[in-house]
Structure 1
Amino acid sequence: MSTIAAPTPEVSQPPPPPRRTSRQVIVRRREMAALVIPSLIPILIFSVVPLLNGVYLAFTEATLGRRSSNAFVGIDQFVKLFGDRQFFDSFRIGLTWAIGVTLLQLVAGLTLALLLNANLRFQGIARLLALVPWAMPPVIVAIIWKMIYNPNSGPLNGFIQLFDPDFRLDWLGSFEVALPAAIVVGVWVGMPQTTVTLLAGLQQIPAETVEAAEMDGAGALRRFWHVTLPSLRPVITSITSLNFIWNFNSFGLVYVLTEGGPGGQTMLPMLFAYNAAFRDGDIAYAAAMGNVMVIVVVALLAFYLWTQFRAERDN
Structure 2
Amino acid sequence: MRRAALLAAVSLSLAACHDQAAGGGGGTRAPIRAVGSSTVYPFTAIAAEQFLANTPGARPPVIESTGTGAGMRLFCAGIGATHPDIEDASRRMRRVEYDACAHNGAGRLLEIQIGIDGVAFAESRRGARMALTPADLYRALAATPGGRPNAARTWRDVNPALPATPIRVYGPPATSGTRDALAELILARGCEQVDPAAAALHARDPGAFAVRCQRIREDGAYIDAGENDNLIVQKLATDPDAIGVFGFSYLEENAGTVVGLPIAGVAPSHATIANGSYPGARPLYIYVKQAHLGAVPGLRRFLAQYAKLWGDGGALARRGLVPSLPAVQARSAAIVHDETLLDPRELR
| TM-score in same-fold range (> 0.5) | no
Q: Give the alignment's TM-score, normalised by structure 2.
A: 0.22
* Greater strand content: 2
Q: Give the alignment's TM-score, normalised by structure 1.
A: 0.23
* Greater helix content: 1
